[in-house]
């Protein structure tokens, strides 16, 4: 009687193909639940981060275009949130956008990033943040390549790249 009808609801499945309508729905109606939360005060983040890292991740700054070698790096790897270490993106979903910022077609799972309407700078965009620690990552646009058609335009400063794990994922 108390059994769950949807036992997999609380898992974090990998995304098949994320769509722009899902992204806009989350941005306007609320985001998927994060796997866990990490919260720190502004002073604590300032202690942990450089000025540049703090400005971009906690004050929603944007790094200069073409300022990171990560734009041109397509080796296998995982991209974690600089602030909290949560895995956000996989190199398998990274592509050459020629925009000057690392670009991905989707995150590693639906709950790790959050979406917010952003009307700053006279534009209507959707901001992307880490769903675990609220770090500003960048924006997502509906002009990416197949199959998702999405372009996650992410500040390299907001990411920490780590090599692929040797241990295989459970399947």
Residues annotated as part of the active site: 153
Nearest CB to Zn ion, comparing residues 23 and 128:
128
CB of 155 to Zn ion, least distance (A): 13
Q: How far is the CB of 160 from Zn ion (least distance, A)?
A: 10
> Site size for Zn ion, by CB under 5 A?
7
Question: Does 135 interact with Zn ion (rule: CB under 5 A)?
Answer: yes
CB of 118 to Zn ion, least distance (A): 18
Say how far apart CA 65 and CA 140 lie, in whole Å: 16
Closest CA to 58 of 82, 34, 86: 82
Region of 16-24, 75-83, 98-106, 154-162 interacting with Zn ion (CB under 5 A): 75-83
**HSE of 163, CA atoms in CB hemisphere, 13 A:** 3
Residues 82-101 interacting with Zn ion (rule: CB under 5 A): 83-84
**Chain centroid to CA 114:** 8
Q: Exposure pattern of 118-135 as b/e (b: 16+ CB <10 Å)?
A: beeeeeebbbbbbbbbbb
């Amino acid at each position: 009687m108390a059994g769950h009808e949807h036992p997999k609801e609380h898992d974090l499945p990998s995304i098949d193909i994320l769509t722009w309508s899902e992204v806009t729905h989350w941005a306007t109606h609320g985001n998927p639940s994060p796997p866990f939360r990490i919260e720190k005060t502004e002073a604590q983040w300032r202690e942990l981060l450089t000025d540049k890292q703090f400005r971009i991740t906690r004050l929603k700054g944007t790094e200069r275009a073409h300022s990171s070698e990560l734009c041109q790096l397509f080796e296998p790897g995982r991209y974690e949130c600089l602030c909290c270490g949560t895995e956000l993106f996989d190199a398998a979903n990274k592509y050459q956008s020629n925009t000057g910022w690392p670009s991905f077609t989707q995150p590693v799972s639906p709950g790790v990033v959050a979406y917010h309407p952003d009307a700053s700078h006279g534009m209507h965009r959707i901001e992307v943040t880490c769903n675990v620690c609220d770090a500003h990552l960048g924006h997502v646009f509906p002009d990416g390549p197949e199959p998702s058609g999405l372009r996650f335009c992410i500040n390299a400063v907001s990411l920490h790249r780590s090599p692929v794990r040797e241990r295989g994922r459970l399947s």
